[in-house]
Structure 1
Amino acid sequence: MVFNTSATASSVWLLDLRGAVGPASADYLIRGINEAEQAHADLVVIRIDTPGGLDTAMRDIIKTLIASTVPVASYVAPSGSRAASAGTYIMYASHIAAMAPATNLGAATPVQIASPSLPTAPKPEDDNNNNSKEERNPAKPSNAMEQKLINDAVAYIEGLADLYGRNKAWAVKAVREGASLAAEDALKLRVIDLIAHDVDELLQQLQGRQLTVAGKPLTLNLSDIEIHRYQPDWRNKFLMVITDPNIAYILMMLGIYGLILEAYNPGTLLPGIVGGVSLLLALYAFQVLPVSYAGLALIALGVMLMVAEAFVPSFGVLGLGGLTAFVIGSIILMDTPIPAYQIALPLILSVATASAAVLVFGLAMIMRARKQKLVSGVSILEGQVATVSAMHKGRAMVQLQGELWQVSCESALQLDDSVRVIAAGGVILQVEKL
């Protein structure tokens, strides 16, 4: 089977994987490859520069790569880029693996088992020894769960290495020891297929290359090339924004406090609408992010305790307990050590400080209100002086606070007599004649 035997130009789709591998980048690459298949593209080139990312997103991308009927070339570029961790797995799963000079790949150990007690990465000279020492100092996980994680990662990358005959021994070393390779060494060890300075040189080297795609032999014909740069659409950009852990965290807090404000002031509508929409967006983001449900529960408990302080004043006990639970829950909310998918500590401290300020302000208002005299109800009439302004059926009436009140007095009262309220109860005021 030969690509582009007609006179039309070869269609090459160019995609970019920049930054951490996550839900947004996975959605972008998967839809890009699928649309390239529908457009009968001759080749898809993915330029890679990533420190790694989430395992679930990486596996979704790899499933699409393996199932693709269009050949995919993963290309670590420009110079200075890397394909670390998840990027290495993606390179192994691609039909063609290429790198620019001064790039590197590797360090594919699952991040969950990273620990100061694990062996350090091998020295550069070990990488040039054709993997003769790959089993000498394997990582030793500290518990059964870590052992399962690393064994699963080893088996996974070994299967990917078998797909296109790449160096399996070094792949295992990259997982067990966190080994890395520069482009030149990767080519020598058959980890990648070629080195190219740019996309144009890459396509020139791929001209006439024979591949196996979806189980069928295939020859690339790239003599006349038309490059289609696939850009993220609004959906992908929106997904990229809301799946940022910091944005998702802010949306969650807006949602919680918006609903609380609506509960305090029913009928306001705006806080409830904003809070409801924000909370739903946050929950959507959390379903594709590595969320710790313990952290989420602690945040909810913390908010409830701080709100309870306003209803059941405990001189700060409930509030401080809620604030502590809130901070701890926020720190452990993202169940991953990957920096790109952790909530920034300054953001957590800012939200916690704002919550504490509101709590302290609320407590101060409560204490001040307890010390003040009553400003509502009939009790506020006690001590006030009034003049008898009317007589109704022999009972004197006075006008206070814009209303007529019946009064009861031990002395006989007449119009224009001055009285002072000594007790207020029901609809009759007890007065004394001045």
Structure 2
Amino acid sequence: MQTFKAALVAATVFVALVVSIRPGAAEENSRLAMTIAIDGAVGPASASYVKTALAKAAERHAEIVILRLNTPGGLSTSMREIIADVLASPIPVVGYVAPSGAHAASAGTYILYAAHIAAMAPGTNIGAATPVQIGGPIPGLPGAAPDKDGKDSKDGDHPSEPKDAMTAKVTNDAVAFIRSLAELRGRNADWAEKAVRDAATLSANGALQAGVIDLVARDPAELLRQVDGRVVEVAGGKTQRLATKDAVLEAIDPGWISRVLAVITDPNVAFILLMVGIYGLIFEFMTPGTVAPGIVGTICLLLGLYSLNLLPINYAGFALMLVGIALLAIEAFNPTVVIGLGGIVAFVLGALMLFRVEAPGYALSWWVIGITVAVFVTFFLAVLGALRRAARGPALLGAQAMRGLPAEVLDWSETTGHVFTNGERWQARGTETFKSGETVEVANIIDLTLVVRRTPAAAGQGGTA
């Protein structure tokens, strides 16, 4: 009985300890601040990384997510994906331009405006959000489309309104988009429009005074102290009071998928992968059975096509590149001058037209185009040189190739025998009698039988004697 009571008391104490510890553990978990870093151009890899990281932060029940920005801009499609994920996040996202010397230009400005809380480190800047290419509006975002005449309904005529119709449409759409983000977060919408139309920029202190950002913090620790106690509205209209004073910082590293995407979605890498893949397959078709060029070419071609699928490309330019490569392949099998020159011209024009937008970090390098064209020209000149040598040189096949070759007599009887020439033993005949070991000359070949005669030197010696 005493043993039973002791066990009951021990169980009661254990349950009480578990109950008392669990709230503390939950509080510990709720005060987790996870960090995401976008360094460099905004692209498909950045969008994939942010989406995965926000999902992970939601699973870990983090208190906030700090999205650190240091970007010159990037692709508008990827920017809008990131903004859509931030707006739909159940975890408050703090946009933070850091470290000192960093900037959030172009796409970075839009992302910072979309964050629940916007912050900058001293010595950073924001702005220059004039669009290069802006996609469609994000569904569900208030005011994300211009009115019927292509302008935001709250804005009058602007002194720097672009005159070109397409530029005006793109710019007005960008203005409507960033103003809707500013109104959603209660930030300076007028300066946001100025950043789009006039490429205006601000320092950290200037942005704070203009109401573009919410605070300036030297480091993430100071940032956590300043946002502590703030009330933010997350997805679904829910409000949340932040408790970040003692939160633990934990970085979310990009996974291997995001790392691979960051490499292959570089336009220059995608272009090189495409070229290696196509030429690998061409070499495999020219020399069947080598296997290695075919395998490497197939892998590179698939990676190149996948990366092009993620980038804004001009399909007319891509088609011109393929036509140029096809013409050069035809040139290799049927050498002419016109086909080769046409292939080079088509390829160069296609490469110049391939990418529809030259966003920061997503422009095709002239060096890559130049080197590729140089390789094509070298290939073209090599084919022409081989054609010229083949036309001027002696025949390499048939009776013409055998005429004039020296041959050693192996055995001979009257007018027939066998000779050795060109690494092979041949049946031969002639009008003279020869001795074994004597060197003769091939005059002709008839039905796999060589017609031989004395060499001119031997015939001259015989005449002198």
The interval holding the TM-score normalised by the smaller chain is: 0.7 to 0.9
Once the two structures are TM-superposed, the CA of residue 339 in structure 1 deviates from its matched residue by 4.0
| Distance (Å, rounded) in 1 between the aligned partners of 2:241 and 2:257 | 35
For structure 1, which segment, 69-78 or 237-246, has the greater mean C-alpha deviation from structure 2 after superposition?
237-246
Q: Assess, with a 3 A threshold, how the Cα gap between structure 1 residues 134 and 90 changes in structure 2: closer, same or farther.
A: farther
Does structure 1 residue 183 correspond to structure 2 residue 169? no
| Aligned counterpart, 1:398 | 418
SS state at 1:74 partner = strand
SS state at 2:96 partner = strand
Once the two structures are TM-superposed, the CA of residue 218 in structure 1 deviates from its matched residue by 0.9
Once the two structures are TM-superposed, the CA of residue 289 in structure 1 deviates from its matched residue by 1.2
Higher helix share: 2
Give a deviation string over 1:138-185, Cα, whole Å, max 9, x none.
331413x22221222122222222222222222222222222222223
C-alpha contact (below 8 Å) 1:17/1:25 kept by paired residues: yes
| Aligned counterpart, 1:50 | 71
Does structure 1 residue 368 correspond to structure 2 residue 389? yes
Once the two structures are TM-superposed, the CA of residue 356 in structure 1 deviates from its matched residue by 1.6
Once the two structures are TM-superposed, the CA of residue 319 in structure 1 deviates from its matched residue by 2.4
| Distance (Å, rounded) in 2 between the aligned partners of 1:234 and 1:419 | 71
Q: Normalized against structure 1, the TM-score is what?
A: 0.85
| Distance (Å, rounded) in 1 between the aligned partners of 2:113 and 2:381 | 56
- Superposition pairs of residues 322-361 of structure 1, within 5 angstroms: 322-361=343-382
- Superposition pairs of residues 271-350 of structure 1, within 5 angstroms: 271-314=293-336, 316-350=337-371
Once the two structures are TM-superposed, the CA of residue 69 in structure 1 deviates from its matched residue by 0.3
Once the two structures are TM-superposed, the CA of residue 360 in structure 1 deviates from its matched residue by 1.5
Once the two structures are TM-superposed, the CA of residue 422 in structure 1 deviates from its matched residue by 3.6
Does structure 1 residue 69 correspond to structure 2 residue 95? no
**AA aligned opposite 1:240:** A
Please point out which of 270, 281, 300 is paired with 2:292.
270
Once the two structures are TM-superposed, the CA of residue 7 in structure 1 deviates from its matched residue by 4.2
- Rg (Cα) greater in structure: 2
Indicate the RMSD between aligned Cα atoms, in angstroms.
Answer: 2.8
Query: How many correspondences in the alignment?
Result: 408
| Distance (Å, rounded) in 1 between the aligned partners of 2:394 and 2:114 | 76
Q: Assess, with a 3 A threshold, how the Cα gap between structure 1 residues 425 and 204 changes in structure 2: closer, same or farther.
A: same
Give a deviation string over 1:322-356, Cα, whole Å, max 9, x none.
22322232233222122411121112212221222
C-alpha contact (below 8 Å) 2:428/2:452 kept by paired residues: no
Q: Assess, with a 3 A threshold, how the Cα gap between structure 1 residues 226 and 99 changes in structure 2: closer, same or farther.
A: same
Please point out which of 411, 414, 424 is paired with 2:445.
424
C-alpha contact (below 8 Å) 1:4/1:42 kept by paired residues: no
Once the two structures are TM-superposed, the CA of residue 50 in structure 1 deviates from its matched residue by 1.0
Once the two structures are TM-superposed, the CA of residue 64 in structure 1 deviates from its matched residue by 0.5
- Superposition pairs of residues 249-264 of structure 1, within 5 angstroms: 249-264=271-286
| Aligned counterpart, 2:259 | 237
C-alpha contact (below 8 Å) 1:91/1:97 kept by paired residues: yes
Q: Normalized against structure 2, the TM-score is what?
A: 0.80
| Aligned counterpart, 2:238 | 216
| Aligned counterpart, 2:172 | 151
C-alpha contact (below 8 Å) 1:139/1:177 kept by paired residues: no
| Distance (Å, rounded) in 2 between the aligned partners of 1:194 and 1:388 | 100
SS state at 1:102 partner = coil
Once the two structures are TM-superposed, the CA of residue 5 in structure 1 deviates from its matched residue by 10
SS state at 1:111 partner = coil
| Distance (Å, rounded) in 1 between the aligned partners of 2:26 and 2:452 | 109
Please point out which of 102, 124, 127 is paired with 1:103.
124
| Aligned counterpart, 1:82 | 103
SS state at 1:191 partner = coil
Q: Assess, with a 3 A threshold, how the Cα gap between structure 1 residues 34 and 7 changes in structure 2: closer, same or farther.
A: closer
Once the two structures are TM-superposed, the CA of residue 285 in structure 1 deviates from its matched residue by 0.7
| Distance (Å, rounded) in 1 between the aligned partners of 2:206 and 2:228 | 24
| Distance (Å, rounded) in 1 between the aligned partners of 2:25 and 2:183 | 30
Once the two structures are TM-superposed, the CA of residue 100 in structure 1 deviates from its matched residue by 1.7
**AA aligned opposite 1:49:** N
| Distance (Å, rounded) in 2 between the aligned partners of 1:353 and 1:418 | 50
| Aligned counterpart, 1:380 | 401
Q: Assess, with a 3 A threshold, how the Cα gap between structure 1 residues 430 and 84 changes in structure 2: closer, same or farther.
A: same
Once the two structures are TM-superposed, the CA of residue 412 in structure 1 deviates from its matched residue by 8.7
Give a deviation string over 1:96-128, Cα, whole Å, max 9, x none.
111122322122221259xxxxxxxxxxxxxxx
